[in-house]
């Protein structure tokens, strides 16, 4: 099987995802992704006419994200009409899955040049017209009464015995690491400044981090999901917490430990990565930065939902014929603090090589875009440290995980 090479990558800043409070909230998500596509083009020297497909992840697919935002953003970017686009949805893992699918297309010999990534403007939610993850399917709900992800994260903490203090310590570390990375300019080369339609600058830096955050600061925040979990919501006949206790009868209650400070930030953003075959890269004079060694997914129990990053990581290590000791750096999406704590416990990963530039608790999690951002962050840090190999893993809705291993060339 031939290799899939990462030539380059680009991302927007992560803007605060609250309408009227974030610097990019007035922009259409297509406009942001279009600018990132052109930023990747300019950075890499890519001729867009060579691109066979643009594969983008998006966790919404409704409202302003509807109607194949990948193709619409290609057109908005002014790329040739011959360049197709497809949008995929694997919840929070959508952006990583887009890169993995691009790699698979290249490795199989079916494609030579693919752009992959994702986009999400969380400031622009649209009605789903569906009751929870089971989308109005009462038969499925009777089998798996899936609850909102924040309650699943609290359920992980309850089952695993993670305290609020455990979660808060991890969140403070994320903020400290992100602040250091920003101060040292580690994200500078990755960022594409996003402009308004009149050409003025909208945002050129990550907007969500709160440097200087302390344990004391976080201790004053109210749990985000306690009231939701303990109150019967419209359309249901029992509380979400009672659903959790029914599926996990060994627990007496759900301990609600997550809040705005130890959960991933609500942000807007877009990402793009150029993936090619070695032959194509050599024919265009591209210098590869890394190869995508292997990709994998995993599924786990869907009510607790967010426990599959470790199984996905184990699967991708097996596919690559590698062991944990072969990995220099780890990126695990900080959807919630308990997700990362569970991963560390299961794989016994040293915190010193995990999310070394902070994660989504500090930087934010633009759902469909985050996966490609994490891969780019891992690659940039490998280069900065002159190391070789990174493993990137994410949890997703529905009880799934995604994983990739990259290796510098």
Q: Measured between alpha carbons, how far is 31 from 47 in angstroms, rounded to an integer?
A: 20
Query: Which of 406, 323, 400, 306 shows the shortest CA–CA distance to 360?
Result: 306
DSSP 285: T
Tell me whether residue 365 is one of the annotated catalytic residues: yes
Q: Counting Cβ atoms within 10 Å, is residue 153 exposed (0-12), middle (13-18) or buried (19+)?
A: buried
314-332 burial by CB neighbour count: b if 16+ within 10 A, else e?
bbbbeebebeeeebbbbbb
Out of 92, 113, 167, 244, pick the active-site residue: 92
Q: Counting Cβ atoms within 10 Å, is residue 81 exposed (0-12), middle (13-18) or buried (19+)?
A: exposed
Q: What are the tokens at 214?
A: 């302390």
Tell me whether residue 26 is one of the annotated catalytic residues: no
User: Three-state SS for 42?
Assistant: helix
From first CA to last CA, the distance across the chain in angstroms is: 17
User: Three-state SS for 183?
Assistant: helix
Residue located via tokens 């455990």 = 166
Query: Which of 346, 374, 378 shows the shortest CA–CA distance to 360?
Result: 374
Let me know: does 3 contact 277? Beta carbons within 8 Å. Answer: yes
Q: What are the tokens at 154?
A: 């609290």
Q: What are the tokens at 95?
A: 């952006």
CB atoms within 10 A of CB 188: 12
Cα Rg for the chain, rounded, in angstroms? Answer: 20
Tell me whether residue 113 is one of the annotated catalytic residues: no
Which residues have a catalytic role annotated?
Answer: 92, 365, 395
């Amino acid at each position: 099987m031939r290799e899939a090479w990462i030539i380059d990558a680009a991302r927007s800043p992560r803007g605060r995802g609250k309408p009227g409070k974030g610097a990019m909230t007035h922009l259409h998500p297509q406009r942001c992704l279009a600018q990132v596509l052109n930023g990747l083009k300019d950075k890499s020297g890519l001729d867009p006419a060579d691109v066979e497909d643009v594969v983008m992840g998006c966790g919404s697919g409704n409202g302003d994200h509807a109607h194949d935002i990948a193709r619409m953003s290609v057109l908005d970017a002014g790329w040739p009409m011959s360049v197709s686009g497809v949008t995929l949805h694997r919840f929070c893992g959508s952006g990583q899955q887009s890169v993995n699918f691009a790699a698979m297309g290249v490795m199989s010999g079916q494609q030579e040049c693919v752009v992959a990534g994702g986009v999400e403007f969380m400031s622009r939610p649209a009605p789903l017209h569906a009751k929870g993850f089971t989308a109005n399917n009462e038969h499925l709900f009777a089998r798996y009464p899936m609850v909102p992800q924040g309650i699943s994260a609290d359920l992980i903490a309850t089952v695993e015995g993670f305290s609020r203090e455990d979660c808060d310590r991890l969140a403070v570390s994320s903020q400290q690491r992100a602040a250091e990375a920003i101060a040292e300019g580690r994200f500078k080369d990755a960022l594409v400044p996003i402009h308004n339609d009149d050409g003025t600058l909208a945002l050129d830096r990550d907007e969500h981090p709160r440097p200087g955050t302390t344990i004391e600061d976080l201790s004053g925040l109210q749990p985000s999901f306690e009231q939701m979990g303990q109150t019967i919501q419209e359309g249901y006949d029992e509380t979400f917490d009672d659903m959790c206790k029914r599926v996990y009868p060994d627990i007496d209650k759900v301990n609600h430990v997550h809040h705005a400070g130890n959960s991933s930030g609500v942000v807007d953003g877009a990402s793009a990565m150029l993936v090619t075959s070695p032959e194509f890269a050599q024919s265009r004079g591209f210098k590869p930065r890394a190869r995508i060694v292997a990709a994998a997914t995993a599924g786990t129990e869907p009510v607790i939902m967010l426990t599959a990053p470790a199984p996905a990581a184990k699967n991708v290590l097996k596919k690559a014929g590698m062991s944990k000791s072969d990995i220099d750096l780890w990126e695990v999406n900080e959807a919630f603090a308990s997700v990362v704590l569970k991963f560390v416990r299961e794989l016994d990963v040293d915190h010193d090589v995990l999310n070394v530039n902070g994660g989504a608790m500090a930087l934010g999690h633009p759902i469909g875009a985050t996966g490609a951002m994490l891969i780019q962050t891992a690659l940039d840090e490998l280069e900065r440290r002159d190391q070789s190999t990174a493993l990137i893993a994410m949890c997703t809705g529905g009880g799934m995980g995604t994983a990739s291993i990259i290796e510098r060339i």
